[in-house]
């Protein structure tokens, strides 16, 4: 990459890093003695889960075990990046350290994804200004889903616009959320670029395999996009060879780099699949991780802005002699197949297709028979329309930061109760709490909860009514006591969310003993039926449970 191009990429990355970090800085400024910032402004539920994974890494874990279930887990080689990041945190203020590490990684990943996108675009586009146009569009642009919001139809056709919740469909949303999404996009593009480079330097196929192997470790599902792009490219190369009567051996020579690039990643995927078939928790998690694609109209809105120019670019690419642009054509053709594949994770599969569309659109706009000034006005208009959705996302994140409300923020008193659990309950604590409480608790305490995350809380559909029934009965019913015994619950958390379900201390079960009581928040120990446990009260040794002799008697 030339020095001027590198400087431009770094400047764009810095601008994007600042713009996407300002809402988070506002949120940190907004927190105070009464509020604590979770670290996420969008997709807060998932954000808490990633902080919880980092916390597990800080506690010494090397394998992923979800804190959002009491189901036994053997551990899996997943979310390794977050586990490793967590090991950089230690001492007081662990949550604040984890949030800072998350956003530092997010900022660094922005630089990497901009560089990878520019490099990928340069593989196909000769003119510098169109390379830059495609890069900005691919990294910072979005579709026309904002028009649905402008019309006041937020839940039109049974879902929201993809711009609000699908970083795979575009890319800018990832800049405001989680670093592994940015890293996965960068690794995907670097892998595909190295694969195309292997047409000139055969050894680059091994580099492609390395990038795609790292991709599987970061985001395994994204290798489906790589496989689709490479597979479609191989198919189109074969078709062109037939149409242009090239020797069959030519197509076979192009197959070898694809095999090298995908061999190790596919072996890893097979390993993950085997683990999935043998691990009961992972099976449950996979069954609950339902990410269906919305109505096709939303994909038309998402990609319709670029599609006309992309069609022009595809025609130009097909008529040319270069084989590399056939990958873009094949990838875009595969997008609807990926988006509606017969799997529960449909929405994850079109990862990176927006970049292919942006590059094809640049090829199309750059070659259309119009005056140069007219083409450029069209290009700027397209960028402007595409950036509307991104501006709205930043505005929405800034508004969430300024409002200081849940779930983005948590009451400081609730966080104090979480931290008390972290310090006193022990590493094997299993805490019963309402769903909203359970989502945040593992981000502040090394404890497990029964419910708190859609995919990771095993048996959520059946458990959630039982948890709610427990609080309605204040733990005093037979079913409530059975719930505690079945999952080995050690502590019961009570706050406003739990009281809203009907919890009443006056009807408290005889097997629950208060160990924490500060304002609206209380924590109860699920004590064993021993005389020593029954004799304990808040005025006695139970207040010290979690350490020493008193813990062994509880």
Q: What is the pLDDT of residue 507?
A: 85
Query: What are phi and psi for residue 41, nearest 5 degrees?
Result: -110, -30
Residues 97 and 230 in one domain: yes
- What 3-state DSSP class applies to 344? coil
Q: What is the pLDDT of residue 506?
A: 86
Cα–Cα distance for residue pair 457/288, rounded to 1 Å: 9
Query: What are phi and psi for residue 410, nearest 5 degrees?
Result: -125, 145
Q: Would you state the structure tokens that stand for residue 547, as one six-digit string? A: 């350490």
Q: What is the pLDDT of residue 225?
A: 97
- What 3-state DSSP class applies to 345? coil
Q: How many domains is the chain partitioned into structurally? A: 2
Please tell me what DSSP assigns to residue 40.
-
Cα–Cα distance for residue pair 294/166, rounded to 1 Å: 10
Residues 470 and 324 in one domain: no
Find out whether 229 and 196 touch, Cβ atoms under 8 Å. Answer: no
Is residue 85, in this structure, part of any structural domain at all? Answer: no
Q: Would you state the structure tokens that stand for residue 369, as one six-digit string? A: 């028979």
Residues 112 and 173 in one domain: yes
**Buried-state track 317-335, b at ≥16 Cβ within 10 A, e below 16:** beeeeebbbbbbbbbbbbb
Residues 374 and 270 in one domain: yes
- Look at residues 346, 381, 401 and tell me which one is the last residue of a structural domain: 401
Residues 180 and 288 in one domain: yes
Element housing 517 (H / E)? strand 512-518
Residues 419 and 381 in one domain: no
Q: Give the dihedral of Cα atoms 483, 489, 491, 494; nearest 10 deg.
A: -30
Q: Which segments of 244-295 does DSSP mark as H helices, in order?
A: 248-278, 280-288
Q: What is the pLDDT of residue 528?
A: 64
Is residue 195, in this structure, part of any structural domain at all? Answer: yes
Residues 312 and 173 in one domain: yes
Find out whether 511 and 529 touch, Cβ atoms under 8 Å. Answer: yes
Residues 540 and 468 in one domain: yes
Find out whether 225 and 188 touch, Cβ atoms under 8 Å. Answer: yes
pLDDT per residue, tens digit, the chain (554 aa), is: 889 999 999 999 999 999 999 999 999 999 988 999 999 999 999 999 999 999 999 999 999 999 999 999 999 999 999 999 999 998 889 999 999 999 999 999 999 999 999 999 999 999 999 999 999 999 999 999 999 989 988 889 999 999 999 999 998 999 999 999 999 999 999 999 999 999 889 999 999 999 999 999 999 999 999 999 999 999 999 888 888 777 766 666 778 899 999 999 999 999 999 999 999 999 999 999 999 999 999 999 999 999 999 999 999 999 988 999 999 999 999 999 999 999 999 999 999 999 999 999 999 999 888 888 999 999 999 999 999 999 999 999 999 999 999 999 999 999 999 999 999 998 889 999 999 999 999 999 999 999 999 999 999 999 999 999 999 999 889 999 999 999 999 999 999 999 999 999 888 888 899 999 999 999 999 986 334 333 433 333 333 343 333 333 33
Is residue 236, in this structure, part of any structural domain at all? Answer: yes
- Look at residues 367, 401, 435 and tell me which one is the last residue of a structural domain: 401
Residues 364 and 420 in one domain: no
Closest CA to 156 of 167, 171, 142, 145: 145
Is residue 527, in this structure, part of any structural domain at all? Answer: yes
Cα–Cα distance for residue pair 186/132, rounded to 1 Å: 17
Is residue 347, in this structure, part of any structural domain at all? Answer: yes
Distance, CA of 129 to chain centre: 32
Is residue 80, in this structure, part of any structural domain at all? Answer: no
Find out whether 182 and 102 touch, Cβ atoms under 8 Å. Answer: no
Is residue 71, in this structure, part of any structural domain at all? Answer: no
Q: What is the pLDDT of residue 509?
A: 81
Residues 365 and 455 in one domain: no
Cis omega (within 30 of 0) for bond into 407 = yes
Residues 458 and 536 in one domain: yes
Is residue 416, in this structure, part of any structural domain at all? Answer: yes
Establish how many alpha carbons lie within 13 A of residue 206's alpha carbon, considering only the half-sphere containing its beta carbon.
3
DSSP code string of 309-342: HHHHHHHHHHHSS-STHHHHHHHHHHHHHHHT-S
Residues 331 and 233 in one domain: yes
**Structural domain range at position 146:** 3-30+91-401
- Look at residues 340, 367, 401 and tell me which one is the last residue of a structural domain: 401
């Amino acid at each position: 990459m030339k020095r001027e191009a590198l400087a431009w990429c770094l400047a764009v990355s810095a601008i994007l890093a600042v713009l996407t970090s300002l809402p988070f800085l506002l949120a940190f400024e907004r927190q105070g003695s009464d509020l604590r910032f979770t670290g996420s402004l969008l997709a807060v539920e998932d954000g808490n889960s990633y902080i919880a994974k980092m916390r597990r890494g800080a506690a010494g874990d090397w394998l992923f075990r979800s804190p959002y279930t009491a189901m036994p887990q053997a551990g899996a080689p997943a979310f390794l990046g977050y586990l490793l990041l967590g090991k950089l945190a230690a001492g007081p203020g662990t949550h604040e350290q984890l949030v800072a590490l998350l956003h530092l990684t997010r900022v660094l990943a922005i630089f990497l994804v901009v560089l990878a996108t520019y490099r990928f675009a340069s593989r196909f586009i000769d003119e510098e200004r169109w390379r830059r146009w495609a890069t900005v569009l691919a990294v910072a642009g979005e579709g026309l889903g904002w028009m649905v919001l402008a019309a006041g139809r937020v839940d039109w056709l049974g879902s929201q616009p993809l711009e609000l919740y699908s970083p795979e469909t575009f890319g800018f949303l990832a800049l405001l959320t989680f670093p592994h999404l940015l890293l996965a996009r960068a690794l995907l593009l670097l892998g595909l670029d190295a694969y195309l480079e292997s047409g000139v330097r055969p050894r680059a196929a091994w580099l492609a395999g390395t990038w795609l192997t790292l991709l599987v470790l970061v985001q395994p599902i994204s290798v489906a996009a790589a496989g689709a792009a490479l597979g479609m490219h191989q198919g189109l190369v074969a078709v062109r060879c037939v149409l242009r009567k090239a020797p069959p051996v030519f197509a076979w020579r192009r197959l070898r780099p694809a095999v090298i690039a995908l061999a190790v990643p596919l072996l890893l995927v097979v390993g993950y699949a085997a683990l999935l078939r043998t691990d009961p928790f992972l099976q449950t998690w996979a069954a609950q991780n339902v990410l269906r694609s919305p109505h096709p109209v939303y994909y038309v809105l998402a990609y319709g802005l670029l599609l006309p120019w992309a069609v022009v670019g595809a025609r130009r690419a097909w008529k040319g002699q270069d084989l590399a642009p056939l990958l873009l054509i094949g990838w875009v053709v595969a997008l609807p197949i990926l988006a509606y594949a017969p799997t529960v994770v449909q929405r994850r599969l079109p990862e990176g297709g927006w970049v292919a569309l942006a590059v094809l659109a640049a090829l199309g706009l750059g070659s259309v028979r119009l005056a140069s000034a007219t083409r450029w006005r069209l290009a700027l208009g397209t960028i402007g329309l595409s950036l509307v959705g991104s501006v709205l996302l930043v505005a929405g994140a800034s508004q969430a930061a300024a409002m200081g409300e849940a779930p983005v923020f948590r009451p400081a008193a609730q966080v104090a109760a979480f931290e008390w659990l972290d310090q006193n309950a022990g590493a094997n604590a299993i805490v019963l709490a309402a769903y909203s409480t359970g989502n945040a608790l593992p981000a502040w305490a090394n404890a497990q909860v029964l419910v708190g995350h859609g995919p990771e809380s095993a048996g959520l559909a059946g458990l959630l009514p039982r948890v709610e029934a427990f609080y309605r009965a204040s733990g005093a019913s037979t079913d409530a006591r059975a719930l505690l015994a079945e999952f080995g619950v050690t502590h019961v958390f009570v706050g406003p969310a739990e009281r809203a379900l009907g919890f009443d201390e006056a009807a408290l079960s005889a097997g629950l003993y208060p160990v924490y009581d500060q304002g609206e928040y209380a924590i109860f120990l699920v004590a064993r039926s021993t005389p020593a446990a029954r004799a304990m009260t808040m005025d006695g040794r139970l207040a010290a449970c979690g350490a020493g002799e008193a813990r062994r008697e509880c």
